[in-house]
């Protein structure tokens, strides 16, 4: 019942029946006009209109700056929305001015996620993690266990380059961590492989030597996390080759055991 006007659905049906009795059934021309005006309303959006629609819905998803950081991160419902949010996040920056965001790369639905330390010069220039010398070695390591970069997702603890490629300091790691955790939550990998001590100790929140951290899978936010040496360490010292080889083979085995797919 429409309380304002005192008209119910039954009243409307009764009214239409009466109209049909008086004027006869609706004519074909009226039906055609009705169809045309209805199809006008429900037709597929035209290209220009489509993008307007997308634009307005993505505008709706810009996190409200009045909200807490956690709520703003939760308001990012896709990896692309999170990327746009990170583009504007001053707190992700280091004290090196004019750096580019190095958000992450690969398959956003990957079951395996690799997390390094921080972008270097090449990564900063290209806006993509692991594209310099360490990245070339990483590609070879991945190929040796039958992965390409497109099968997995790669990110870093920091999303901006620190000056002089120094290690990320504790404050930078702390500021970046909530963004990375949301990224992990959106990708939902089944396995995380941390590359290097900075990555492993930051995510596991324990300050231990890498040799003690590696060789185990740790439960971590609905995934399993393991740690190995950073490819840059291998470039400096070949003695880490064997442990890395063992670690990545273990990761491949676990990936297959869990029925993971690219
Ligand atoms: N080292 C890292 O940890 N990450 C990169 O993206 C490049 C080098």
- Give the pLDDT confidence of 157-195 residue by residue, as tens digits: 999 999 998 999 999 999 999 999 999 999 999 999 999
Structure-token match 């990375």, residue found? 180
Residue 213's CB: how many other CB atoms inside 10 A?
A: 19
How many Å lie between the centroid of ligand 1 and the Cα of residue 67? Answer: 32
Can you give the pTM of this predicted structure?
Answer: 0.78
Chain center to CA of 250: 25
How many Å lie between the centroid of ligand 1 and the Cα of residue 120? Answer: 6
How many Å lie between the centroid of ligand 1 and the Cα of residue 119? Answer: 5
- Give the pLDDT confidence of 121-144 residue by residue, as tens digits: 999 999 999 999 999 999 999 999
> Which of 130, 160, 166, 235 to mutate for ligand 1's pocket (most ligand atoms within 8 Å of CB)?
130
Atom of ligand 1 nearest to the CA of 117: 3
> Is the Cβ atom of 118 under 6 angstroms away from ligand 1?
yes
Task: For the chain, give the percent of residues with pLDDT over 90.
Answer: 74
């Amino acid at each position: 019942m429409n309380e304002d006007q005192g008209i119910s659905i039954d009243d409307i049906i009764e009214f239409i029946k009466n109209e049909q009795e008086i004027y006869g059934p609706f004519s074909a021309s009226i039906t055609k006009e009705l169809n045309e005006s209805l199809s006008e309303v429900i037709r597929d959006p035209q290209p220009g209109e489509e993008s307007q629609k997308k634009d307005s819905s993505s505008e709706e998803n810009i996190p409200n700056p009045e909200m807490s950081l956690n709520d703003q991160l939760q308001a990012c419902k896709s990896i692309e929305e999170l990327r746009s949010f990170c583009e504007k996040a001053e707190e992700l920056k280091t004290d090196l001015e004019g750096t580019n965001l190095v958000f992450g790369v690969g398959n956003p639905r990957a079951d395996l996620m690799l997390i390094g330390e921080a972008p270097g010069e090449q990564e900063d220039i290209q806006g993509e993690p692991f594209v310099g010398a360490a990245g070339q070695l990483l590609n070879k390591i991945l190929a040796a266990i039958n992965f390409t970069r497109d099968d997995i997702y790669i990110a870093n603890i920091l999303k901006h380059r620190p000056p002089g490629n120094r290690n990320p300091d504790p404050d930078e790691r702390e500021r970046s961590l909530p963004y990375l955790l949301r990224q992990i939550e959106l990708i939902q990998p089944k396995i995380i492989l941390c590359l290097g001590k900075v990555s492993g100790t930051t995510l596991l929140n324990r300050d231990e030597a890498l040799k003690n951290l590696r060789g185990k899978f740790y439960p971590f936010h609905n995934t399993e996390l393991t740690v190995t040496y950073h490819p840059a360490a291998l470039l400096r010292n070949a003695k880490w080759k064997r442990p890395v080889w063992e670690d990545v083979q273990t990761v491949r085995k676990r990936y297959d055991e869990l029925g993971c797919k690219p």
